[in-house]
Amino acid sequence: MQPLISLRDIVNRFGAQVVHDGVSLDVLPGEIFGIVGGSGSGKSVLLKTMLGLRRPTSGTVEVEGRDITAMNDEELREVKRRYGVTFQQGALFTSLTVAENVALPVAEAMDLEEEALASLVELRLRMVGLPLDAAGKYPAQLSGGMVKRTAVARALALDPVLLFLDEPTAGLDPIAAESFDTLVLYLRDTLHLTVVMVTHDLDTLARTCDRVAVLVDGKVIVDTLEGIVRNDHPWIRQYFHGARGREVLPAVEERRGA
């Protein structure tokens, strides 16, 4: 299967500090791909590199077979229309309503009549499970879960093939987090999306991810979650077999028939 995203020998350096030292990985079409790592491991830097928001010090990033590290700004803009992104705090425009936030990328990319744009916004709100009366509300009037769903609705506005999620369940209570995980699975299956997710949430990893990339020592280890938890790397043992891991991993084995 041809990867949708392919990173080869990525080096990201800030002065004398090397964050990534030859990172290579593939993201396959239709999978939910998780990225985890400790503080300073470069999760956000790697995400920005994959998004074309940061050019690596060396190495290549291919998206749908095209090397984005060699593209000019105009070519990058075309690639960026193929993916949607949500950031940890939602990154909604506080002065715009929910409907206006969702409509913004569409209004910038194409010339739609007001009625058609309103219909598209309504479709996206329904798709992410938001009530239609949320359309006229401002971000400050929303719960944390509704902010996350609005951000996803906006990310899906231009029918992307790729969805990037940065800490999607951070700040949510367990019920809202589980509901959001269910939404991600639903969107992946119904829209045939490929999802790349940076998360530290073990429950989310267990419920949603097909494979997981662990950033350690400037390198990356990629495997299924079952394979990752059997890895003997000290950080992986501490992260996945600590107190929280001992609570989550039995449920992983039960859900996946391990």
Cα–Cα dist 238/104, whole Å: 43
Question: CB neighbours of 73 closer than 8 A, spacing ≥ 6?
Answer: none
Q: Running DSSP on this structure, what letter comes out for residue 161?
A: S
Residue 18 has pLDDT above 70, yes or no: yes
Rounded mean pLDDT, 164-179: 93
Write down the pLDDT at residue 223.
96
Residue 3 has pLDDT above 70, yes or no: yes
Domains of the chain: 29-55+72-256 (3.40.50.300)
Rounded mean pLDDT, 214-229: 94
Cα dihedral 41, 196, 77, 112 sign: negative
Model confidence pLDDT, tens digit, residues 184-212:
999 999 999 999 999 989 999 999 999 99
Q: Report CA-CA distances (Å) from 128 to 23, 132, 190, 198.
A: 34, 11, 12, 20
The model's pTM is 0.90
Write down the residue that tokens 């991810």 correspond to.
Answer: 209
Model confidence pLDDT, tens digit, residues 96-132:
999 999 999 888 777 778 888 899 999 999 999 999 9
